[in-house]
Amino acid sequence: FSSVGSNPLGFAEEAAPWRLRSAQFPSKVGGRPLRCARCGRPCAFLLQLYAPLPGRPDAFHRGLFVFCCRGPGLRPPLVFRNQLPRKNDTYSYDPPPETPPPEGHPPVSLQLQCGAHLCRVCGCLGPKACSKCHRAHYCSKDHQIVDWKLGHKLSCVQSDDKQHCKQRHSAKKFFFQLLEHMQNSNNIGTGTV
């Protein structure tokens, strides 16, 4: 456990999927990538921190998002900030419940509901389709090649099952593992970074 000045940095641990939903305002490691404006390749989603500013009504819901470019050369990370006042059109005025949804509640789904195709490797929008099965989608030729080598080559020609080709088996090898970022309020073992 480390700190910068008096601000604890924390640690990452596995969490129930419902805790990582946007409505819970999670601080988390890993997630869906973002298309890099500098090189056009997907940037890995490294970290999301929920960081409200006390005493600033305009920053009650404040999040910091850190992405790492995987393009050639050493590049600084991309950092974005989003902030809203407590009363806004997006989030409830009241804090979210700290308990899991009741039994029978729909499971957490990380799929887009609009029907857009997503890249099997990184999860970005995937407008390009496999020329053989037309069921696996990709954001770029590079990711189609990665997925082909990771096993789509076999599943594409061996399977008549449409769902088989839609499974995104490659994404886990590309994303950082999705974990919740936790802070220790006891300041045990603090050091300076």
Looking at residue 191, its pLDDT comes to 39
In this prediction, residues 168-172 reach a mean pLDDT of: 50
144-150's contacts with Cβ under 8 Å and 24+ in sequence apart are: 146/121, 146/170, 146/174, 147/120, 147/121
pLDDT band at 7; cut points 50, 70, 90: low
Looking at residue 78, its pLDDT comes to 86
